[in-house]
Structure 1
């Protein structure tokens, strides 16, 4: 293939990233990238395991003199969040990413980049391919469906792994090491509905241009949730005008703060529709005044068409639906003041959709404290019961607690200080990492999460800083060299 990234070393590292970017690898669609990894290993005579979940483990013997050292696990996930800007034509099931390089940053044209966690895949491929570096035996673990509940890591048979030291590369700030993370799950509300046919004027509302972001890493930035903003507008319209809700669709991933939402209402009276359109415009202006300091690209498109026929949601069901959203807990719920306001509990209403015969709402709660996560589940269960929704829980994964004694953490700190002359920052994060699942399953596992700088994950504004990626490989090589001593 023709490679776009030039001028960075080692060249192969960046080529590997481009190669995997050409393979569609959204969550649930990882067979192609999984098979690529298997072929990569077989072409180099390396031991490889591929399971039914398409997880891949590739093992490489230690370099000369380090063959008998304790193995180390390198780990990352191969799937990516598939988000795109409105109007962008891109089929994540079939199309590779269109990469763009500008001012030392790598982005994708109108879509997420998949640096989260394609960088880990490329880094592991480089370690497996580079026979010049010094390292102990390595077990490279590539997991699937991380972005939808860490499903691949759950399914993986951990008994195939001998390593008791783990370097996860799903941290996204150069110079920062993650040593603890939150647990999470997916909570879905569902309500069955029977629609009725209504003729009249159809009012359509579109909220666009919000920043969105990662529901863990960006939840403390107070970014507007498009679904909740739309619910606010719809509640006023249903209260002050005589319309019926037809559709309400916002967000595509439970772990991404919704950037866009579209809804529609139908009015039997053209005069009432005109009144609703005027009110919607007034509300949009008010919201713009509130939001534009923090959400500069916010916009609300409003249109009205006469002589339309639509299948409307019953008034009672629509009211319960909107009220549930208006009262739903969202955003930061609890902080630890003693840890500089670190987020302990949060929720994200990530997906709302109205289907032909049901309404669906999907939440992503997170907490680093198991008892508080249980409390959140109870609160959501109460909300669902109050407004007549059935509730289900899925994709639950544990948090990862801080370990006082961590040899790998000390090695990383020493390496970073000697290479770059600065202290490695140690932090806990509110996002979820697979370290918790591996630590639960492998007794005595010593884990750390590190990585190069990637910004705006889970949004089309995601970018990878190329010189950071370049430096990070040097950091990783030095850590492996120290582990081989």
Structure 2
């Protein structure tokens, strides 16, 4: 499948990316891909090993005469975000990604593409098989479960990597190089809420909000895109005086993706149905105007449910839950003063579920300041304690502190200027690159991050500019060759 990728250049990069597209690899299901990469390494005579968590390292000795050059670690993550349009059945644990070329961009049909971070992984593999490239010692580090928990980086073995320089290949902007990133943490809220039988005059309705673009909950958080959970909760709040009671709620599938769709089942007295329908229609117009130019596809629909449930949350529990969700922090909290134009602190209401009285929420807090991440998590805890919910913070990871005086950065900028005629933009990203975690485990590492141009990551709109892949790989080749002439 995806044979058209073999027509693109650089051929080796796209050949490896084809393997990644044809091998299912959502977070937690990378084993098949790891096995294929180990077989590939064996066939090329490359040493490989895994740490206790399962992260994979493939090593290549230096070109003769360059053994004293500083070791370079090429780093990327094997997993991808699993997102598909609601009307497109796709089993990410079984089905390959179906790619297509549109106007100079590669995208996937109805699903995420996996260019994040598949093209970084493919580029590292292509470097490993280069026969004519002069290089120092190379280690390619492929981590697991980055998209769900940063588990691979958080559990990376210490005293394992030998290199002194790390090239993270998980950035998504052409002409830019990243030297810092936000840290973050998952905030999980759970509660059992009281239910009561339906009254004789209550009618069951379904409420849906669809059509949003979605996107990356870090790098897209400031773009004015809609968050389906935030918006549907706003609608439910507006319906409060129609005496609604919630039965079910389902919104978002990943804490690090802006939710594109949300659905609720509710009951309402028959006498209030007409008023509820009018309010939903009016809100649809209001929300479309608010999102105009940023997220134009919003659709709200309220209709009668096919079946009547036996129970719904009590009126009081519904009121408190909707109020708490409506008050919960969502979106940009603060912009950075030290790094103008960069989000400092944000939160994404990524996954919200209610079923049989059991409520679950998973939000992702990000910040350039670890203290702000902690404070946001504590605010969640304080808010949801008011409705009797339990809150816990998991999978916390530190940010990556910028080093503008880095020698590695200087070398990259010089090469960028020589090859492309321009200086790269030096950036700090509001997203969770693994560099912060890796730097904590290996403080001696000098690190930068760069990559091809990717848009719509973490959504079915994900796409990569094909020409940017060749530019990215050329820079990677040139940098590795240049570093081979440096002595440790």
Give the conservation status (yes or no) of the 8 Å contact 2:184–2:370: no
Q: Cα gap change, 1:113/1:160 in structure 2, threshold over 3 Å: closer, same or farther?
A: same
**1:313 matches 2:327:** no
**1:220 matches 2:236:** no
Corresponding residue of 1:202: 204
Alignment of 1:429-440 (within 5 A): 429-440=429-440
Q: Which secondary structure state, in structure 1, belongs to the residue aligned with residue 246 of structure 2?
A: strand
My pick for the range that moved more, 7-16 or 408-417, is 7-16
Q: Cα gap change, 1:306/1:252 in structure 2, threshold over 3 Å: closer, same or farther?
A: closer
Q: Distance in 1 between matches of 2:68 and 2:209?
A: 59
My pick for the range that moved more, 444-453 or 290-299, is 290-299
Q: 1:243: Cα distance to partner?
A: 2.9
Corresponding residue of 2:127: 127
My pick for the range that moved more, 116-125 or 271-280, is 271-280
Give the conservation status (yes or no) of the 8 Å contact 2:179–2:404: no
Corresponding residue of 2:164: 164
Structure 2 unaligned regions, length at least 5: none
Q: Which secondary structure state, in structure 2, belongs to the residue aligned with residue 159 of structure 1?
A: coil
Q: 1:81: Cα distance to partner?
A: 0.7
**1:242 matches 2:243:** yes
Give the conservation status (yes or no) of the 8 Å contact 2:182–2:430: yes
Corresponding residue of 1:400: 400
Q: Cα gap change, 1:265/1:483 in structure 2, threshold over 3 Å: closer, same or farther?
A: same
Corresponding residue of 2:76: 76
Q: Which secondary structure state, in structure 2, belongs to the residue aligned with residue 220 of structure 1?
A: coil
Q: Distance in 2 between matches of 1:98 and 1:122?
A: 17
Alignment of 1:290-301 (within 5 A): 290-301=290-301
Q: Which secondary structure state, in structure 1, belongs to the residue aligned with residue 159 of structure 2?
A: helix
**1:346 matches 2:346:** yes
Q: Which secondary structure state, in structure 2, belongs to the residue aligned with residue 361 of structure 1?
A: strand
Q: 1:97: Cα distance to partner?
A: 0.3
Give the conservation status (yes or no) of the 8 Å contact 1:30–1:54: no
Corresponding residue of 1:251: 252
Q: Distance in 2 between matches of 1:307 and 1:205?
A: 14
Q: Which secondary structure state, in structure 2, belongs to the residue aligned with residue 326 of structure 1?
A: helix
Q: Distance in 2 between matches of 1:332 and 1:320?
A: 24
Corresponding residue of 2:367: 367
Q: 1:52: Cα distance to partner?
A: 4.5
**1:43 matches 2:43:** yes
Structure 1 unaligned regions, length at least 5: none
Q: Deviations over 1:71-107 (max 9, x none)?
A: 1100000111111112011111110100111111110
Give the conservation status (yes or no) of the 8 Å contact 2:339–2:428: no
Q: Distance in 1 between matches of 2:99 and 2:317?
A: 44
Give the conservation status (yes or no) of the 8 Å contact 1:266–1:312: yes
**1:388 matches 2:375:** no
Q: Distance in 2 between matches of 1:305 and 1:366?
A: 38
Q: 1:7: Cα distance to partner?
A: 4.2
Q: Distance in 2 between matches of 1:16 and 1:205?
A: 43
Give the conservation status (yes or no) of the 8 Å contact 2:280–2:300: no
Q: Deviations over 1:300-326 (max 9, x none)?
A: 122114772343122222222111111
Q: Which secondary structure state, in structure 2, belongs to the residue aligned with residue 365 of structure 1?
A: strand
Give the conservation status (yes or no) of the 8 Å contact 1:201–1:306: no
Q: Distance in 1 between matches of 2:370 and 2:409?
A: 25
Tell me how many residue pairs correspond in the alignment: 483
Corresponding residue of 1:446: 446
Q: Deviations over 1:428-485 (max 9, x none)?
A: 1111111111111113210000101111111110101111101111110000000111
Q: TM-score, normalised by structure 2?
A: 0.95
Q: 1:338: Cα distance to partner?
A: 5.0
Q: TM-score, normalised by structure 1?
A: 0.96
Corresponding residue of 1:64: 64
Q: 1:51: Cα distance to partner?
A: 3.5
My pick for the range that moved more, 154-163 or 288-297, is 288-297
Q: Distance in 1 between matches of 2:434 and 2:244?
A: 47
Alignment of 1:419-438 (within 5 A): 419-438=419-438
Q: Deviations over 1:362-405 (max 9, x none)?
A: 11111111222222122112112222210011111000001143
Q: Distance in 2 between matches of 1:30 and 1:173?
A: 26
Q: 1:204: Cα distance to partner?
A: 0.9
Q: 1:33: Cα distance to partner?
A: 1.3
Give the conservation status (yes or no) of the 8 Å contact 1:5–1:101: no
